[in-house]
Structure 1
Amino acid sequence: MRLKLPLATLAFALGFGLAQAAPLDKTECIAPAKPGGGFDLTCKLAQAGLLEGKFIDTPMRVAYMPGGIGAVAYNAIVAQRPAEDNTIVAFSGGSLLNLAQGKFGRYNENEVRWLAGVGTDYGAIMVAENSPLKSLKDLAEAIRQDPRKVVFGAGGTVGSQDWMKAALTAKAAGLDPKAMRFVAFEGGGEGLTALQGGHIQVLSGDASEAEEHIKAGAKIRVIAVLSDQRLEGGLADVPTAKEQGMDIQWPIIRGFYMGPKVSDADFKVWVDTFDKMMATPEFAKLRAERSLYPFSKTGAELDAYVKKQVEAYRKIAAEVGLKVAK
């Protein structure tokens, strides 16, 4: 009589064993855009931090999935790849704003497992170096005198993050965002050129981006940062909007989420790994090299933060006349 054993039992009996791949084996980070942007930067920050900290043995693969400013990747992970325990997806504050406006289709912020927030940037309000506008008070006065002469610009269309920063600033200065003169550019570089050329008077963007442009010789001045307190580094002397009487804050967090069906055990492995990695001075250095400011939240803490932010974005979007998701 021949003894028939299941393959796994036979392998074990022969002393081999069939080990299941661990969540930190053959890791992949999905950047929901083309190479070179903020999502790419976010994935490569995790790639460098995990490898240099020896949390993974081989470099994390970065895959690009552009479409809908994050919508294609979000839908793919939820509907097609929900249980991949070695895959993380980059997100930003812009992703949360899009969720608040229903731009990710039928899926909302409750569909994924929010893994880690690893850094943040903040909004910034810029003018040309030779502009008579030296503060938000000057901007508000210029708007009161003649709003038609104050043209805002941003690297994004109506409803985007940069448009929201401009709209909130205009609103705080007493101007209905619907009446705001606004020019949308393909990116921050085009807006910067227009600002220096006098084609627009105010540009809304990111603090780190503004700092890098100033270092490179751009003839611009930052008149406000949209953070809860003053920033470190080259913009340390720039007052917050709140200091100037306009309670506007716009953090731009960067982080990762995972599929909704990743097991609790595997998710915990990732959470614990990011907690350890972000506590090291080596990671702080990597984050600073990418012009990001400290922000470290994982697991349940990040989940609560994300849900709160999306709800806040829904209210803000409604206040400036945009459509919001229920």
Structure 2
Amino acid sequence: MRKLLFTVAAVAMLAAGNAFAAEYKIMAPAAPGGGWDQTARTMQTVLQDEKIADNVQVNNVPGAGGTIGLAQFVNQAKGDASQLIVGGYVMVGAILTNASPVTLDQVTPIARLTGEYEALVVPAASDIKDMAGLVEKLKADPGSVSWGGGSAGGTDHITAGLIAKAVGVDPTKVNYIAFAGGGEALAAILGGQVTVGISGYGEFESQIKAGQLRMIGISSEERVADIDAPTFKEGGVDVAIQNWRMIAAAPGISDEQKAAIGADIEKMVKSKSWQDALSAKGWADTYLAGDDFKAQLAEDVSSTTSILKDVGLIK
């Protein structure tokens, strides 16, 4: 009996140890330095520091708005509960505009993690002082207003289309210039090569604070603490949008594996380390998991399909 009790206790201790021995490989389907990469590497740090996982590796597979990485993940990670992929709203549009054969229906959504609002900026010397000034120019001659932002069909492009639509301008007339990277877009905005810049607030924060760029609006429903800018709605444009980021697991995992991953992610987002990281990076905590996130994802795919048809990027 004593031997049996010892064996049971040993198994229990082993099981308890394994609960803290998770290993994850997180794919960031983008180049190092961007939002998805930062999200993956922040997860790596927090999961390890909080002892939720013993070992977390991050790998980058850039290209085509995340769809190259997504295809690789779906094809190579099936049934592997250790593999995760970061994604977000940009990927929703990229799947549609690239006519990707692989979609988010083929992964296992775990949770929405963070959100970042879209900021509209102009060079400090611009004659556009506010949203009203931008709208006036847009209505007078849509083609004369050039918008500098990220990939075609991404959150920046969608936001520009929504603004045009909201003020009665044909979204297909939007003169949107897509840049491959944030640095390239920023240089074009600062150099006056485009009329207005559009991206996540974090991309422009330093230049706004230095007085090089003027922020004329932010895409939140209400004013954001510590950001001195009116919302689009305050500026008379009825648009609110958030560029969210998520984590998903591999296709073909069991319900038990999905639940275990979800539990680890929930521990992570509730940890002080994660909350401190969000505050430092200016990311909003938009944690949403389970069926609620699945429903929100389906709704975003539907609404994104509509606006991309409006701007003429898909049929």
* Residues 223/246 of structure 1: CA separation in 2 closer, same or farther (3 Å cut): same
Match of 2:298, SS?
helix
Match of 1:257, SS?
strand
Task: Give CA deviations for 1:55-105 in whole Å, capped at 9, x if unaligned.
Answer: 1223x1112222332222322332332111111111021012223446321
Task: Give CA deviations for 1:160-198 in whole Å, capped at 9, x if unaligned.
Answer: 332222232233333323323333333232333333333
Whether 2:240 is the aligned partner of 1:249: answer: yes
Counterparts in 2 of 1:211-226, with a 5 A limit?
Answer: 211-215=205-209, 217=210, 219-226=212-219
* Residues 29/170 of structure 1: CA separation in 2 closer, same or farther (3 Å cut): same
Which of 37, 41, 46 aligns to 1:40? It is 37
1:133 corresponds to: 128
Shift of 1:121: 0.6
Paired with 1:289 and 1:275, the residues of 2 have a C-alpha distance of 20
1:9 corresponds to: none
Counterparts in 2 of 1:32-111, with a 5 A limit?
Answer: 32-58=29-55, 60-101=56-97, 103-105=99-101, 107-111=102-106
Match of 2:285, SS?
coil
RMSD of aligned alpha carbons: 2.7
Structure 1 portions without partners, runs of 5+: 1-11
Whether 2:307 is the aligned partner of 1:316: answer: yes
Instruction: Tell me, yes or no, if the aligned pair for 1:29 and 1:62 is still in contact at 8 Å.
Output: yes
1:296 corresponds to: 287
Task: Give CA deviations for 1:34-69 in whole Å, capped at 9, x if unaligned.
Answer: 3222221111111112112221223x1112222332
Match of 2:46, SS?
helix
Instruction: Tell me, yes or no, if the aligned pair for 1:139 and 1:173 is still in contact at 8 Å.
Output: no
Which range is displaced more, 294-303 or 140-149?
140-149
1:283 corresponds to: 274
Q: Which residue identity does 1:171 align to in structure 2?
A: K
Match of 1:168, SS?
helix
Paired with 1:147 and 1:113, the residues of 2 have a C-alpha distance of 41
Task: Give CA deviations for 1:213-258 in whole Å, capped at 9, x if unaligned.
Answer: 323x25111111112222222x1x3111122222222211112111
Whether 2:259 is the aligned partner of 1:268: answer: yes
1:8 corresponds to: none
* Residues 213/84 of structure 1: CA separation in 2 closer, same or farther (3 Å cut): farther
Shift of 1:284: 0.8
Which of 109, 118, 130 aligns to 1:114? It is 109
Q: Which has the larger radius of gyration?
A: 1
Shift of 1:323: 1.0
Paired with 1:291 and 1:103, the residues of 2 have a C-alpha distance of 33
Counterparts in 2 of 1:158-173, with a 5 A limit?
Answer: 158-173=152-167
Paired with 2:142 and 2:74, the residues of 1 have a C-alpha distance of 45
Greater per-residue helix proportion: 2
TM-score normalised per structure 1: 0.84
Which range is displaced more, 25-34 or 206-215?
206-215
Match of 1:321, SS?
coil
Aligned length, in residue pairs: 305
Paired with 1:64 and 1:51, the residues of 2 have a C-alpha distance of 19
Instruction: Tell me, yes or no, if the aligned pair for 1:152 and 1:203 is still in contact at 8 Å.
Output: yes
Identity, % of aligned pairs? 28
Shift of 1:267: 1.0
* Residues 63/197 of structure 1: CA separation in 2 closer, same or farther (3 Å cut): closer
Which of 203, 209, 219 aligns to 2:203? It is 209
Paired with 2:195 and 2:78, the residues of 1 have a C-alpha distance of 46
